[in-house]
Structure 1
Amino acid sequence: MIDFGIDKLAIIGAVALIVIGPEKLPRVARTIGVLVGKAQRYVSQVQTEVNRSMELDELKKMKQGIEEAAHNINTEVSAGLQEATRDLYTEDSEMAHRYGSFGDADTPYYGNATPVRKNWRLKRGATPLWYKQKSGVRRHAQSGAARVARFRPQPPHSTRN
């Protein structure tokens, strides 16, 4: 790049003053400043665009690497699952041959355990009474008339002296 020192700038300024004249020099200096500013903005935009494209290429490469790693992990996991399933079925078929058949040979045998049935009445009964009162859970069936009577405003008590 061209190196401008103070002495060179002073010589350029003196020549410009003589050639252009003192009347037109401020206007020419402003025009030159505007043009230099536009050139600097253009150069910075080009640099920014180049940096963005480089970052985009790096991100694409990183994305491709991550996708490849995820695909490899997926294939390894699925192969492991298939192997474990195959081992499980072979053990079940060996047990069926050894101890007699207990159902379909293609499906694994897990015993005759019945699923646990959750009794919702017991579950509701386990809720503490104070929580039911606080959350407004009705504990007893109540007729409409009883409900109206419960929420009817009480008349003021008269005090006799």
Structure 2
Amino acid sequence: MWRSAPPFGELLSGCRKSALHLEMRDHYDDPDEAPRVEAWKAGKRPDPNNRDSWWRPWLDMVSETVGRGVEIRRARIVSEPVSEYTRYLYDGTFANIAAGEQIRWLPRKKASGIALPGNDFWLFDGRLVRFGYFSGEGAYLGDEVTDDPAVAKLCAEAFESVWSKATPHEEYKV
């Protein structure tokens, strides 16, 4: 069944085993993130020694969730050479990892043999999928969730295929 997604924090707090996230865009146009992107373009970087400079409250939710024993993995399919926005994400990924996420990168040309859903998604506990919808320019348009077993299976298989081919953040160079 398809329905509007509940708040993301509610989805994550209800998670018991795993939360998998597949990102497939080279740019996201999030107005809340725009000040951080502009600061990054001006040369400001998050300070690894100052957690208060990191993206909040997201990283607090990640730390709490991982602390409950939930595995959070994120895979990013990226074009190469990478976009400016992907460089921005890359430079801040250390904070996601410090909070407990596992992150890998897959060059788009290595994803050609993988059957992928048409949209970015989160898969919670292998059963609930939250799809995020974006405009061609990267503006967030909304999301939906489904617990359809066939959709969850497609997303799980796509994620694991990407994950197996992707490079861990520590080894990936932009």
Q: Which structure has greater helix proportion?
A: 1
Higher relative contact order (CA 8 A, sep 6+): 2
Q: After TM superposition, is the score higher than 0.5?
A: no
TM-score (ref. length: structure 1): 0.15
Choose 1 or 2 for highest CA Rg.
Answer: 1
TM-score (ref. length: structure 2): 0.14
Q: Which structure has greater strand proportion?
A: 2
